[in-house]
Amino acid sequence: MTFGLVWPALLGLLLAGYFVLAGFDYGVQMLAPRLGRDDRERRALLNAFGPFFLGNEVWLVAAAGVLFGAFPLLEGRLLSGMYFPFAAILVGIVVGNTAVQLRSRHRSATARRLWDGLIFLGGLVPAVGWGLVTGRLLAGVPLDARNVFSIGPADLLHPFVLLCGATTTAVFLAHGAAFLAWRTGGAPGARAARAGCRALLVAAVAAAAVLVTGFLSSARHALVNPWPALATGGALVVVLLTGAALLRAGRTGRAFAATSCAAALPVVALGAGLHPFALVTSGAPGTSGTGLRLAEAMADAGTLRILTVFAAVMVPLMVLSQVWNWWMFRDRAGRTRTYL
């Protein structure tokens, strides 16, 4: 297997892992202020993901490390071209994580309402932001002759891109609800299951709308491999409906597995739709297959050999630490020590 296959696959794996693990974080953050009827319930809901939420962000750090080290040209083009969406996502993550950790330090109702509002925004902004970024990349970006681009608000207000933002938000919301239904019990768990069913149905409708809009709009001209991307989108609708049926039947663990698949599928659609390109040109018919190729965006072979040794050690350690963490806190929330 060559570097040209290993490093794109590793980047996709890390991004998919981040979407799955941090996706339920963002969902819980959006739901906790509403599902918890009083301060005790809201604290219990936050403690359900307390042992995991900081570790989940490690996958984003690892993916960023791969982007910086193995794809320096793509990193330069992507981060500068989408500066404002990425800045908003990072601000949302920092604000959300800070609010989750500081909420219990203040006892007044006013202060906790403020922290609850920031926790909600800390889940909403990354969920919407990642959907807009994914949608814009699928629909193409305005590349010039040097494969440089810069997007503005009008590029994010495209119907296809907005629907992608709505879809990831609903998917992460449902993912968080399935996690809470699985990890908690009693009335909050039942409310989470009902909220998850509604969110999964909304997400399925939004995903179907993405497929229709993508086919009817200019977005279809950018995709290099439209049929694999369409099949992935169809699989997303099926998985979301399956998750809703499992939640309604009380199979919360299996429903969480289904929403985990749903959270990863946008990354799969991106890779399947654009490969072997990293960035494609948006615009008129006939532009498909033009842009920045993954092979052009990669570092030289010497750098990749050094990074491969480093990744062969660090990535398994990161996965093992996650497995150990989940095993240590495998009991339902309430049976383990609280943190938040």
Q: What is the pLDDT of residues 108-155, one digit of tens each?
A: 888 888 999 999 999 999 999 999 999 999 999 998 888 899 998 889
The answer to whether the CB of 71 falls within 8 A of the CB of 12 is no
pLDDT at 222: 81
Indicate the length of the chain as a whole number.
340
pLDDT at 40: 85
The answer to whether the CB of 45 falls within 8 A of the CB of 36 is yes
pLDDT at 339: 63
Reported confidence tier of residue 285, pLDDT bands at 50, 70, 90:
low
Q: Chain-centre distance of CA 308, in angstroms?
A: 25
Q: What percent of the chain has pLDDT over 90?
A: 69
Tokens of 262: 């749903």
Spatial CA neighbour of 171 closest among 94, 280, 116, 244? 244
Tokens of 87: 């800045």
pLDDT greater than 80 at residue 334:
no
Distance (Å) of CA 236 to CA 229, 245, 259, 260: 11, 14, 10, 11
Tell me the average pLDDT of the chain: 91
Largest CA distance in the chain: 61
pLDDT greater than 60 at residue 29:
yes
CA-based end-to-end distance of the chain: 45
pLDDT greater than 60 at residue 260:
yes
pLDDT greater than 90 at residue 181:
yes
Q: What percent of the chain has pLDDT over 70?
A: 96
Q: Determine the angle formed by the axes of helices 252-274 and 186-216, rounding to 10 degrees.
A: 20
Q: Is 316 exposed, middle or buried (0-12, 13-18, 19+ CB in 10 A)?
A: exposed
Using alpha carbons only, give the angle 226, 227, 230 rounded to the nearest 5 degrees.
85
